[in-house]
Structure 1
């Protein structure tokens, strides 16, 4: 039996009215799924274009944060001790806002949620400029916290692309939005020099120019979505799903009207009774943890071996290429061969990455190859896992589930990043990669249980 065939029986496991909310290729009576309607397809194409454009524009800020955040923190505080504050505060901001953003989407739609997220991140960027001008560490921390919301908004945009997608195109739609992040992540780190020129003209500290530009870009992304993301893809998909449920006599999901606490309880209950959703949730969280833990310490390891900042920069660029550039291919593979199969390929890529980096012995070529594969394994896991999570969750509960997954992903990754330093100090870069390789075992083990359950249901 092929991998896609193994997955089909499990598609409805623990999911209420999966066919009605777009979990299958068509309705039980043989008619096409509502996502295939001409009007819906037209809205979906426009939605993906808008989301991709917003990712390109707003993603510039995410790229600036990854390259210049620690430098700005060190410059404002006049101490290397505070350099890590940027990463910590931005990660905390992304983690804290995941569920509230999803709850806002659940109540008001993707348009309100995503535009609010980008605008809040832009305000954080303007606060960072002010922090640099007055030399305030407290303002710096607040600005970084709000600026990190841009990362959470960037992540949740991918789910909006899946709201109206046909079941057999869900991963591809999601992956196009993920790919769009590539452009912003490349442009952002290169804004240091143009930003410094603008800052000099405005009599501001040099590093603030890049953050000023990124805040303008995030504001533009917010306006783009607020003005033109109509009809709202989530609200339209929910209405279509409710119409289908009314036609078939299925029960309505209470999630859309639940409180935030009630939504989280429903999310927990669904994860307990829906193995496919639980598997996708676990795979996404652990994949992000593996990526962040190893990526955080790779520049430190390379510096210890005497590599220049230019070489380190090229290595990180290759890593970002692996993360984003091939996501449309990954999306096509996920839709063609199944989400479960694609995520298992991602785990194999993680193992190959750990072997190359862990056994590099200071070899730049091996570290570059290992970090590229680290990003590629993340892409396989995130794209397929996010699509599977959307498929395995009823329409009314999807925003809450997606927000919970992103929050867990950022929190666990932050813990992994904080532990990666002591772990490398105690066991070396090879030991850190070995630990990362071990983290694929829960995903592989869970996948076997999932496949076995699917085979039993077909017997």
Structure 2
């Protein structure tokens, strides 16, 4: 929840703050690019840190990095120093990836039949913070102004405080470290975290009962492919929807409503999606995600440009499809990744998601500019359909 508040509060005004400081509308998209590149680097580094030292120090470090980046943004805005602002936005982006990485820690010690719901609970909690964060823009702006800082930097004051609190919560209460009991077959001398809890072995083994040994082959590739494809499709369509709507005369309030519904659909269904992963299996959920994303792309492509309701319906479908793909792909990858390098593999999968997001954002403008929004949306939906045969041809994972 704290991480969600920090991420949403900062991203809400990042482009506006850059535009104000740089004096150029054309450079207002630079924060999004810095977030994406920083997130890719952060996912790779934090995945390896978690693998070597455990979830607690890795996730706490990520939140601390996000807090440092947030403070740097405030300092850059106060000093009117664009170089510091942009560097801090990159650091901020590297830390914000911790929010999504937390879903792996949330499901680490859950029994196999409840892992989907555990990951869904973490994502749902993140939504609560993400909803609260933007609503505090006004009050934090007032505090910033009282301190002699530009009002637009106020949400980053909230982000710095929220991420600092998140790091402290993890350091104090994430015990035992989820990654250590999840390695019941590893010899004790091979555990590389220097601060393992002496009582960790007293906890019941989280994966009691017969279980298919994790594999590092097709299941990992398929899970990563599902998440990366969904991220690319979602970002491509979502990025150009506001441009498409404003180009056809829709007010900013209508655009904001459609995007708000989309973001809600990305995270609010998480408990239901997690339950489906546990009940019918991650492969079926991932395949369903491909079908839902196809429906979203076709709906957006065929929606009359002068009507808000069909576009809102399409963007809600887009969010639901992304959510199904994220939780289904997460379960596939987690089941198949070997314990000795699971955290690193999970981090690299999220690197792929960050790169796909950046690629989708850049390519969407070119496709929409050259062929139009309907072609972009339809092509994105068709791409998502490729998830279904990819999942069908994979035999990895604990469940069908």
Does the pair score TM above 0.5? yes
Q: 1:401 and 2:348 equivalent?
A: no
| Matched length | 377
Q: Give the equivalent residue in structure 1 for 2:167.
A: 222
> Which aligned pairs between 1:220-299 and structure 2 lie closer than 5 A?
220-238=165-183, 240-242=184-186, 274-299=217-242
CA deviation digits over 1:314-354, x for unaligned, max 9?
Answer: 11110111111111101001110011111111111101111
Q: Give the equivalent residue in structure 2 for 1:79.
A: 24
Q: 1:349 and 2:285 equivalent?
A: no
Q: 1:155 and 2:105 equivalent?
A: no
TM-score computed with the length of structure 1 as normaliser: 0.79
Which aligned segments of 4 or more residues in structure 1 are displaced greater than 3 angstroms?
254-257
The change in CA–CA distance for 1:312 and 1:153 in structure 2 (over 3 A counts) is same
Q: 1:320 and 2:266 equivalent?
A: no
Q: Which runs of 5+ in 2 are unaligned?
A: 194-213
CA deviation digits over 1:270-310, x for unaligned, max 9?
Answer: x9962122111111111111111111111111111111121
Distance in 2 (alpha carbons) for counterparts of 1:355 and 1:66: 29
Please, which of 206, 221, 246 is the counterpart of residue 303 of structure 1? 246
Q: Give the equivalent residue in structure 2 for 1:35.
A: none
Please, which of 164, 170, 175 is the counterpart of residue 115 of structure 2? 170
Q: Match of 1:103, SS? A: helix
Please, which of 111, 128, 148 is the counterpart of residue 203 of structure 1? 148
| Aligned residues of 2:21 and 2:77 also touching (Cα < 8 A) | yes
Q: Give the equivalent residue in structure 1 for 2:382.
A: 438
Q: Give the equivalent residue in structure 2 for 1:373.
A: 317
Q: Give the equivalent residue in structure 1 for 2:88.
A: 143
The change in CA–CA distance for 1:139 and 1:444 in structure 2 (over 3 A counts) is same
> Which aligned pairs between 1:4-153 and structure 2 lie closer than 5 A?
56-153=1-98
Distance in 1 (alpha carbons) for counterparts of 2:19 and 2:255: 20
Distance in 1 (alpha carbons) for counterparts of 2:388 and 2:286: 9
Shift of 1:66: 2.9
| Aligned residues of 1:347 and 1:381 also touching (Cα < 8 A) | yes
Shift of 1:361: 2.2
Distance in 2 (alpha carbons) for counterparts of 1:169 and 1:197: 44
Q: Match of 2:133, SS? A: helix
Q: CA RMSD in A?
A: 2.1
The change in CA–CA distance for 1:273 and 1:149 in structure 2 (over 3 A counts) is closer
TM-score computed with the length of structure 2 as normaliser: 0.90
Q: Match of 2:151, SS? A: coil
Distance in 1 (alpha carbons) for counterparts of 2:110 and 2:94: 26
